[in-house]
Amino acid sequence: MLTWKEKRRVPTNIETVWKLFQPDQLHRIMPKVVGHELIEGDAGEVGSKYRQSYQEGKRVETYVVETIAHEDEEDYKYLKVTFNIGKAFNIETSYTVITKGSTESLLTYEGVNRGINWFGKLFIKLAPTSKNDQVVQEFLDRVVEEAKKEQAGS
pLDDT tens digits, one per residue of 68-122: 999 999 999 999 999 999 899 999 999 999 999 889 999 999 999 999 999 999 9
Q: Which long-range contacts (CB under 8 A, 24 or more apart) does 138-141 make?
A: 139/29, 139/30, 139/109, 140/6, 140/8, 140/107, 140/109
- Going by DSSP bridges, is the β-strand pair 89-99/76-85 parallel, antiparallel, or unpaired? antiparallel
User: Is the pLDDT score of 154 beyond 80?
Assistant: no
pLDDT of residue 97: 98
Residue type, 17: V
pLDDT of residue 130: 86
pLDDT of residue 116: 96
* Overall average pLDDT of the 13-36 stretch: 94
The mean of the pLDDT values for the chain is 94
Rg (CA), the chain: 16
pLDDT of residue 12: 96
Cβ contacts of residue 27 below 8 Å, gap of 6+? 33, 34, 36
Residue type, 113: N
User: Is the pLDDT score of 127 beyond 90?
Assistant: no
Percentage of the chain beyond pLDDT 70 is: 99
pLDDT of residue 17: 96
Report the alpha-carbon distance of residue 154 to residue 149 in Å, rounded. Answer: 9
pLDDT of residue 129: 84
Local structure of 107: helix, strand or coil:
strand
pLDDT of residue 102: 86
